[in-house]
Amino acid sequence: MDVGKAEKLAGEVLAELSDVVVVEERVLRVILTGVVSRGHVLLEDVPGTGKTLTARAFATALGLSFGRIQFTPDLLPADVTGTYIFNEKTREFEFKEGPIFANVILADEINRASPKTQAALLEAMEEGQVSMDGTTHDLPDPFFVIATQNPVEQGEGTFRLPEAQKDRFLVKSSLGYPDAAGELELLNRRETREQSTPSASQVLERETVRALQRVPEDVRVHDDLKRYIVDLVRATRDDARVEVGVSPRGCQKLFEIVRGWAALAGREYATPDDVKAVAEPVMTHRLGLTAEATVEGTEERDLVDDLLADLPVPSVGYETQRPTD
């Protein structure tokens, strides 16, 4: 599949999703780019903003199986990954798959579960498999997690995700509240259908999604643009407002999603604008600000914007880096 086909299919998927959920197209594109870049998405939102509907619509439009896990304080790791049960007929233990065995997983309110249960999910996300009693069980391919978390200040019973665990997510975003026009559109859509919850139609097949995930691997990234990515990441570690900067894993993830963003835009090469487009959702959840910066009201997105404004933008020319026959 070439980038032209990838752009066309991405447009069809986004159009279908926009007919179902009232969310900014940019947010939907970030999530779709996460799928294409083989990553996972963390959404931080208050309840009632359409997170479940969005995740389910993605699964349906992409032709993938869907699973939802409601995280609660008493949820155990085996409730996520599965466990062995004794079969009375065969007199043997058999593995019973947990809800994580689906292509698209909605991990709802992940920060309400204990750190041990959070770790069970995040380990599966990283490895693409579940290990139980020395036996490895592969997760479906493709495998994509949309995890949601409530803002910590929204109430009791939340466990803040450790920095090392948040680093497992390719991007962090937010659906947010719709504007007045969007909220009115919600009412109008509800008025014209009998069901309270809309549903998406299938656009792609599973094999097509897998083909889409291979397209970014052929996107060219100029050496100067690679240095721009590295300089941006390293600047987070040198900034006085930052206690924990973006990790080397975060640098690689930024590189990967830049290629995915370019591919879905129909280009065989990446540009500095691609880096600027995805820097915030990739980097903000990987930053730990100092206490002084937090007290002064500094937010992670403000810091990323400042670094992008200060960093010299390379002028890349791909004619000198075209692959040879």
Task: Render pLDDT for 206-263 as a digit per residue (tens, 0 to 9).
Answer: 999 999 999 999 999 999 999 999 999 999 999 999 998 999 999 999 999 999 999 9
The angle, 0 to 180 degrees and rounded to 10, between the axes of the packed helices 25-36 and 272-283 is 90
- Residue in 305, 294, 31 with CA at minimum distance from that of residue 153: 294
For 169-194, the pLDDT digits (tens) are 999 988 877 788 878 887 887 777 76
Q: What is the pTM of this model?
A: 0.86
> Which residue spans within the chain are E strands per DSSP?
41-44, 66-70, 82-87, 92-97, 104-108, 129-132, 135-138, 144-149, 171-173, 242-244, 288-289
Q: Choose the weakest-confidence range: 108-112, 191-195, 288-292.
A: 191-195
SS3 content of the chain, % helix, strand, coil (to 5): 50, 15, 35
